[in-house]
Amino acid sequence: MFGSKRTLGRQFPARSTLSALAVAAGAALTFIAASPALAQADLDFAGEEIELMVPYGPGGGSNTHNRLFVLGLQQTLPGQPTIVVRNVEGGGSITGTNEFAARAEPDGRAFIGVGSSTILNQILRDPSVRYDLGEFIPFLSSPGGSIVYARSDFAGGLTDDPIENIRKAIENPPTIASQTITSSDIGMLLSYDLLGIKPKVVFGIGLGESRAGLERGEFQMRHDTMFSYGDAVAPLVEEGSAKLLFTMGYEENGEMVRDPMVPDVPHFLEVYEAIYGEPLSGIEYDVWKSLFNVRVMAGKVLMLPAGTPRKSSRFTPRRRVTRSNCR
């Protein structure tokens, strides 16, 4: 077995994720503040408001991630402006990002926190997309892992062995929720398919609503971001109502390793090999790895609108925040 309920419940308290992310936020802002470009920037936002657009609902991991940076950015940006967070939910982040692209002024007084869904919606050419991320100006990125879990009473009752539980999900296809087919959920749906899990998927359900649906028994399995793990997932594990199945993993120095936030939980490539007796390979691996790179390694990005003058984007840090900073 990969780990027991008792071990998981004790090792990962509800605030562990926020504490780790706070360390990452502090590290990122340290690089911003220390940047020579910032010191040279001819900017002063004193007494002004800067809007942070979050194109997701208030209950998701992207919202948590973006809000972690608010206080630090207020203290770091020239003139210490007030940063106002505005959530615009809809379409797997399309609604808010479209609005940002159309209305945000390129004067350094607005930025957006996008996630992997925002990226994939454009890559997969969702007809609702009216933005071009290639024109936006990124200034901070951090990876964001994903975890899969299921109700403990699913398929006659789950055990403490993730591999045995996944085999039950293969034999008893669960009902799950998803945002849209072009959102970051596509990487998770592919992972299920590769494992042989053929769920009934109900599209058009946001993360917060799907969590509530799982607790009510409407859905038997779901995936979530590690940014939401401490508040949304760990309590269910600790009370015994959910079992952790696998994570998407995390790439470190070119190697796939377990997600450092839940090191007792196997990652996708581990469970695939355990079930089929050989590693994932070929075109299947190539496609999976591409979606992994977008969903996990480029999970969250803060960006300025297209056309923002160089002097307004000089606080750009020169180092990407990685989850290794969170340890």
Residue 2 belongs to some domain of the structure: no
Task: State which residues form the domain around 218.
Answer: 145-296
pLDDT means over runs of 10, the chain (327 residues): 30 37 43 39 82 86 79 87 93 94 94 90 92 92 91 97 98 94 88 98 86 94 89 94 97 93 96 98 96 87 88 46 36
Q: At what angle do helices 268-276 and 185-195 cross, to 10 degrees?
A: 20
Q: What is the domain-level CATH number for residue 125?
A: 3.40.190.150
Select from 99, 59, 78, 75 the least CA-distant residue to 231. Answer: 59
Q: Which tokens hold the place of 193?
A: 């398919």
Q: Would you state the pLDDT for residue 211?
A: 86
State whether 158 and 276 are in the same domain. yes
State whether 214 and 170 are in the same domain. yes
State whether 136 and 160 are in the same domain. no
State whether 159 and 241 are in the same domain. yes
SS3 125: coil
Q: Would you state the pLDDT for residue 139?
A: 86
- pTM (global) more than 0.75: no
Q: How many whole angstroms separate alpha carbon 94 and alpha carbon 27?
A: 30
Residue 53 belongs to some domain of the structure: yes
Residue 65 belongs to some domain of the structure: yes
Q: To which residue do tokens 């480029």 refer? A: 298
Residue 12 belongs to some domain of the structure: no
Total domains, the chain? 2
Q: How many whole angstroms separate alpha carbon 122 and alpha carbon 258?
A: 29
Q: What is the domain-level CATH number for residue 270?
A: 3.40.190.10
Q: How many whole angstroms separate alpha carbon 83 and alpha carbon 74?
A: 6
Contacts of 277 (CB under 8 A, 6+ apart): none
Q: Would you state the pLDDT for residue 129?
A: 96
Contacts of 312 (CB under 8 A, 6+ apart): 41, 43, 106, 107, 108, 304
Residue 186 belongs to some domain of the structure: yes
State whether 271 and 318 are in the same domain. no
- The amino acid at residue 306 is A
State whether 165 and 273 are in the same domain. yes
Residue 10 belongs to some domain of the structure: no
State whether 35 and 120 are in the same domain. yes
State whether 121 and 186 are in the same domain. no
SS3 314: coil
DSSP for 141-163 reads: EE---EEEEEETTGGG---S-HH
Contacts 24+ apart (CB under 8 A), 163-168: 163/2, 163/266, 163/271, 163/274, 163/275, 165/243, 165/245, 166/195, 166/197, 166/245, 166/246, 166/271, 166/275, 167/275
Please count the other Cβ atoms lying within 10 Å of the Cβ belonging to residue 71.
Answer: 13
Residue 1 belongs to some domain of the structure: no
End-to-end alpha-carbon separation of the chain, Å?
Answer: 25
Residue 266 belongs to some domain of the structure: yes
State whether 40 and 169 are in the same domain. no
State whether 286 and 304 are in the same domain. no
State whether 93 and 218 are in the same domain. no
State whether 149 and 291 are in the same domain. yes
CB 171 within 8 A of CB 113: no
CB 131 within 8 A of CB 155: no
Q: Would you state the pLDDT for residue 246?
A: 98
- Cα–chain-centroid distance for residue 84? 22
Select from 59, 57, 63, 48 the least CA-distant residue to 113. Answer: 63
Report which DSSP code applies to 115.
E
